[in-house]
Amino acid sequence: MSNQHLIHLKTKLDSRNYERLAAIDNEALHAFVADAIELCTPDSVWVCTDSPEDMQHTREMAIKLGEERPLKIPGHTIHFDGMEDQGRDREVTRYLVPKGESLSAALNQIEREEGLAEVRGLLKGAMKGRTMIVRFMTLGPNHSDFSIPCVECTDSFYVSHALDLLYRLGYEEFKRLGPKAHFFATLHSSGKVDERMISVEHDKKRIYIDHTTDTVYSVNTQYAGNTVGLKKLALRLTIRKADREGWLAEHMFLMGVHGKGGRKTYFAGAFPSACGKTSTAMLPGELILGDDIAYFRAVNGRCMAANAESGIFGIIQNVTAKDDPAIWDVLNKPGEVIFSNVLVKDGKPYWLGMGVDTPDDGENFSGEWYKGKKDESGAEIPLAHKNARYAVALHALENCDPELENPAGVELGGIMYGGRDPKAYVPCQQAFDWEHGIVAYGASLETETTFATIGKEGVPEINLMSIQDFVSIPLGKYVQNNLEFGKKLTRVPFVFGVNYFLRDKEGRFVNGVRDKHVWVKWMEQRVHGEVGCVKTPTGCIPCFEDLVRLFKQVLNKEYTKQDYVNQFTIRVQENLAKLDRVEKFFKENVTDIPQALFRVWANQRARLLAAEKEFGSYISPECFPAG
């Protein structure tokens, strides 16, 4: 046997688990696992295959160890993260960058050797007294050009269980690919935990990404966004892979929208967390293909897309039976669901904004909870966290698209970029062309910060393509890649900008919660040339007559001229201020800015100023001609 790592592993694993690992002919994999064992010193190692028995074992162990607890409905469990571990932690999530190199100033980074020494120091001996679980999964459908093999070593059976719900099983894929499996790797430990199995050393939480070896290190955290390595952590690695190979990895949902004559049109959408992403992807009557991460490839001039995942790790706040019937259904019937950071009382989960009466006491992320309970700073603790989540496999949803596992992917008809913009952009508009859409809606995407990211809420910030936190190449290069991708296509997807959070002068939302379904139906008809538009300085908006028809058809709701004016008035000064903020951000944070951005911004500024000169600062949509 020439594989020294495998020889070493034989001394660390029992015969059954050694044979499982040795069945995969991949020396780099054996080296990663051997290093993880040597560093973390677990008491035992369990290598998980794709068998139903192994899936059942990981569920049972998560409950036996107390990382999850069963709820009243069969298959449902609850997991709690600590008070200081309730979202993606920007401050301690860093790229490991070799000395002499740097990424964009907007990206959090640390010199590679320094960072490795720190995070590996925290992981040293972290699994003493525990089992190391070795998991094999894939990003994208198996047997596909979209597929990326991944391995994760963790001491959390909750993490292992979440992987089962969110990703495709990959043990057999690793065996099939053998030495051809160029994989992403994650090493995670919960670190020290308390009696509730919650990580307690949050001051030593670190999530470091080594893009030179396609490896993620995560320690002293349990929140899935920081620990399930295939999620946003692997997205950072995928972006670099896509950059090298000429395709795109995007923070986008995928959905199928029904149209005339039984057709189905596929859309992708980039929305920062808590900006309407999952609720759009899960619109009643439509089909969901994915809610978070999508891969795009140009194939014979068409934009083909696939979901990197096969499950949903969704925000549960404001999920109601009326507005989210498909999600509500799966959260209230038997089947595998992991709830996290909601309130539990008598075996039932409760969350914020669920539209039913909720208890005044129970257990939540803070421990035993009662109404009026305060944290150390004196702030009242809500019954559930705003970023409370549910994890569920997509195939459990009645509206799951049957093309989920299609190795060829699906052809995109349109792309949406949506932010949380209270002042400027109208609820729905179409770009003039691919370049205008990528720059004016994608690269210029602005949103208020929300509870999904640790830090202050309600602060306006640029969130380029809703992927800014995850981009591991220069931001200017990322935008350029998107611009160049469009040139590879002969059937170019339409690009739309949406904004469900526009407010009037009194601070009231101009959109209803369910109005988004009308905007999506309008977009579907635009793709097929069945409705016209009105051309404004910032894009093409719907015609009033089409919205009257669509609101009646989709929502059985009367739509008035006053609604139209409130929603689609062009606010010139607010849009100019938005352009100023975007340009300032790029000049301060981005090197090698593609010249197309300055051209698109300048043209948009000129159109806004010309319109203001003719019509004033607040321009009714009725002032603009139909396109």
Catalytic residues, by residue number, are 275
- Parallel, antiparallel, or unpaired: how do β-strands 109-111 and 215-219 relate? unpaired
Name the phi and psi angles at 548, rounded to 5: -55, -45
C-alpha to C-alpha distance for 466 and 506, rounded to whole angstroms? 28
C-alpha to C-alpha distance for 6 and 258, rounded to whole angstroms? 52
The two three-digit tokens of residue 385, written as one number: 């966290």
C-alpha to C-alpha distance for 485 and 301, rounded to whole angstroms? 10
| Number of helices and strands in the chain (H, E) | 18, 33
Written as one string, the DSSP assignment of 297-311 is EEETTEEEEEES-SE
Please report, to the nearest 10 degrees, the dihedral formed by the alpha carbons of residues 22, 27, 32, 34 taken in order.
50
**Please, are residues 87 and 315 in contact by the beta-carbon 8 Å criterion?**
no
- Closest-CA residue to 187 (of 211, 208, 218, 156): 218
What is the H or E stretch that residue 269 is in? strand 264-270
C-alpha to C-alpha distance for 109 and 98, rounded to whole angstroms? 10
Please report, to the nearest 10 degrees, the dihedral formed by the alpha carbons of residues 586, 589, 594, 595 taken in order.
50
Burial zone of 582 (CB within 10 Å; 0-12 exposed, 13-18 middle, 19+ buried) = buried
Name the phi and psi angles at 364, rounded to 5: -140, -165
The two three-digit tokens of residue 152, written as one number: 């994760």
3 state DSSP class of 599 = helix
Residue 551's contacts (CB-CB under 8 Å, 6 or more residues apart) are 515, 518, 557, 558, 559
- Parallel, antiparallel, or unpaired: how do β-strands 109-111 and 148-154 relate? unpaired
Burial zone of 379 (CB within 10 Å; 0-12 exposed, 13-18 middle, 19+ buried) = exposed
Alpha helices in 3-92 (DSSP H): 4-10, 15-22, 27-40, 52-64
How long a stretch of residues is the chain?
A: 627
3-state SS record for 158-183: HHHHHHHHHCEECHHHHHHHHHHCCC
**Please, are residues 281 and 290 in contact by the beta-carbon 8 Å criterion?**
yes
**Please, are residues 184 and 229 in contact by the beta-carbon 8 Å criterion?**
yes
C-alpha distances out from residue 126 to 88, 118, 129, 192, 219, Å: 22, 13, 9, 8, 9
**Please, are residues 536 and 627 in contact by the beta-carbon 8 Å criterion?**
no
The two three-digit tokens of residue 48, written as one number: 């998980």
C-alpha to C-alpha distance for 64 and 62, rounded to whole angstroms? 6
